[in-house]
Structure 1
Amino acid sequence: MNPTPDTDLRIFLVRHAHAAWALPGMRDFDRPLDDRGREEAARLAAAMSVNAFEPDLVCCSTARRCLETLGILQTRSSVKLRIDHSDALYAANHDAYLDLIASPHDKAIRSIMIIGHNPMLEDTAQVLLQNDPATFETALGSGFPTAGLLILDCDRRGASAISGGARFIGLLSPVDA
C-alpha cells in the first residue's frame, strides 16, 4: 500500500525477526533466525499481505538474520520487490538508515522499507518522530520488537523527510499479526 496522495514517502522500518544465539566461533553477523524468528517473520509477512503493504524499494542489511527475514517476507509478496543490500545497515549507526531515506529516489518510489537492527532502528524512528516525542514514546517506549514493522509517512522527500516531521501510521508486531 502506497501512502495517501498528499504524502510523498511512506517509510516501513522492520527489525529482523528473532535470531539464534551465536554458536562458539560464529560471528554475530552470521546468526540465523531461530524457530521463533521464522514464525515471527511469517506472521509479519501475512499481516503485510493482508494490509497490502508492498514497498517500492527494500533496503536490507546483509546480516544473515535480516536476509532470512526478507526471504520470508518475499514469499508472501504479490509483487517482485526491488531490493538493495547494504553492509552499512549492520555496521554503521542510525545515520546510515537516515541517509537511505534522504537519498534521492526516483519519483516512482513512494515507499521504502528498511530491514535492519536495533538500536539503529529505534534511533532512526526517534529522529523521524522528533517533532512528536509522545508518539515515539507510546509506540516504541518498550523497545522495537523483533519482526516489528513501524509505518511512517512523510510529506517531503530528501533531507526534509528526515527533519522530524514524519507521521506515525502504525506499529505491527508479531504478537499483533
Structure 2
Amino acid sequence: MDPAPNTVLRIFLVRHAHAAWALPGMRDFDRPLDDRGREEAARLAAAMAVNAFEPDMIYCSNARRCLETLGILQARSSAKLRIDYSDALYAGSHDAYLDQIASKHDKAIRSIMIIGHNPMIEDTAQVLLQNDPATFETALGSGFPTAGVLILDCDTRGNSAIKGGARFVGLLSPVDA
C-alpha cells in the first residue's frame, strides 16, 4: 500500500511484541520476547508483507525485545532495510520518537518505522493525532497493543510533521492478523 498521493511521509509506529518478565538479576533492557511475543511478531510481519508495508527507514530501540521484534519483521521483508538503532528510544520520553520523525528531511525517505516501547509510542501517537482526538480514542482508546502498528500519513516534513496534523490510515494488531 503506497502512501496517498499528497502524503509526504508515512509513519509506522510499532510497539515491540510481548516480552518475558525479567528474571532475577536481569535488566529490563535485556528482556527477550516470550513465545507469545514471537508469535505476535510473526503475525505482524505477515500482515505487513500482505499489505506491502516496506518502510524506507527504520528506527529501533536497542532493547532486546525491540531488536527481536525487528529481526522477525526483517525475516519477512524482501527489501534491504536501512536501520538506525537508538538508546534514546528506550530511555527517552516520546520526545525522542518525535525527534526521529522531525529530523527526516531527505525527500527520498517517504516512509519511516519506529519500533519502541509503551507508553512512549502511545504518547507519540497522541501528539501526532492531537488535531483528531476522536480518531486517537477510537484507534487506541484501550491501549497500544503489543506488536501493534499504527499507520499515519503526514502532508509535511520536519517539525511541522509532528504538530498534530497526521492522518490515521490504520491499526494492525496481531489479533487482526
The verdict on a shared fold, with TM-score over 0.5 as the criterion, is: yes
Equivalent-residue separation in structure 1 for 2:3 and 2:65 (angstroms): 28
Q: Is the 1:2–1:55 Cα contact (8 Å) retained in structure 2?
A: no
Tell me which residue corresponds to 1:93.
Answer: 93
Deviations 1:106-140, CA, capped at 9 Å, x for gaps: 11100000000000011000000000000000000
Tell me which residue corresponds to 1:160.
Answer: 160
Find runs of 4+ consecutive structure 1 residues off by over 4 angstroms: none
> How does the TM-score come out when normalised to structure 1?
0.99
Deviations 1:138-174, CA, capped at 9 Å, x for gaps: 0000000000000000000000000000000000000
Tell me which residue corresponds to 1:172.
Answer: 172
Alpha-carbon RMSD across the aligned residues, in angstroms, is: 0.6
Counterparts of 1:1-177 in structure 2, within 5 Å, are 1-177=1-177
Letter in 2 for 1:85: Y
Equivalent-residue separation in structure 2 for 1:54 and 1:152 (angstroms): 14
> How does the TM-score come out when normalised to structure 2?
0.99
How far residue 59 of structure 1 moved from its aligned partner, in angstroms, is: 0.1
Deviations 1:17-73, CA, capped at 9 Å, x for gaps: 000000000000000000000000000000000000000000000000000000000
Listed as ranges, the gaps of 5+ residues in structure 2 are: none
Letter in 2 for 1:36: R
Q: Is the 1:2–1:111 Cα contact (8 Å) retained in structure 2?
A: no
Listed as ranges, the gaps of 5+ residues in structure 1 are: none
Letter in 1 for 2:52: A
Question: Secondary structure of the residue that 1:168 maps to in structure 2?
Answer: strand
Q: Is the 1:56–1:109 Cα contact (8 Å) retained in structure 2?
A: yes
How far residue 8 of structure 1 moved from its aligned partner, in angstroms, is: 0.2
How far residue 4 of structure 1 moved from its aligned partner, in angstroms, is: 1.9
